[in-house]
Amino acid sequence: MRNLLIAFGVISGIFFASCTQKSTSKSAEEEAYVATEDASNFVVITEVVPDAILEIRYYSTYNFVGARIDGYLEPTALLTRQAADSLKVVSDELKAQGYRLKIYDAYRPQMGVDHFMRWGNDINDTLMKPYFYPDVPRDSLFDLGYIARRSGHSRGSTVDLTLFDMNTEKEVDMGGTFDWFGYESHPDFGGNPETGEYTGICNSPSGRTITAEQFENRMILRRAMLRHGFKPYDEEWWHFTLINEPYPDTYFTFPVKQL
């Protein structure tokens, strides 16, 4: 694939943060970076992790936008070769415990990030508010830090995932849904993720709670990911990035489809 290396000043992205987190500073947004459409070091996750289940939310309409996201041409998931190889080790460990990995999102192209930004600016679009952000005012998503101008997913070594129980043949109950905007998505909601201790302490403004079993389910996924080279994200229990990601300063632009 022909490389298109371009210096950009701003790239759009999305992340979900705590309600007290400040939005990205202007200087950070204007930081230069490199973008490219070169997919030569990317692989389809299921070719490396054949047991993975794909539920690519941004290819569907069941996501916080309520529409298929630009750049998701096929319901597949891509990662850099290094991240996929590490995920394979995670999968093998969890499979021995009776679980399979379920992938919601992995590599996210720039055009998808741009779609999120356009949606974020349309404060009248509240179609999916009851399902993903009922406690957050629609016009506060930027100010509260839920939408920013950069996505680590576009660097190709970040994955959003959960567990699937092979015995019950159901998704494991994590006490919250993927892409929920709020405290309930934080790894420390109801416990200490560093020690794995359930405390029952929840900071939900709406009084939501999490059980000891649901918290432990999150920890099962977290421990396996951390053991095999991934780092967690403080605001999302489902979000992990390869610590030694091969492209820490590069943001890719090619669409999501079979390679």
- The set of catalytic residues is 236
Beta strand ranges found along 109-257 (DSSP E): 147-148, 158-165, 170-171, 191-192, 197-198, 230-233, 236-242, 250-252
Q: Which of 161, 188, 185 is nearest to 175 (CA)?
A: 185
Q: Residue 41: which residues within 8 A CB-CB, separation 6 or more?
A: 80, 81, 156, 246
Q: Residue 130: which residues within 8 A CB-CB, separation 6 or more?
A: none
User: Which amino acid, 132?
Assistant: F
- What 3-state DSSP class applies to 188? coil
Give me the sign of the Cα torsion angle 181, 21, 87, 168: negative
Residue bearing tokens 């298929």: 68
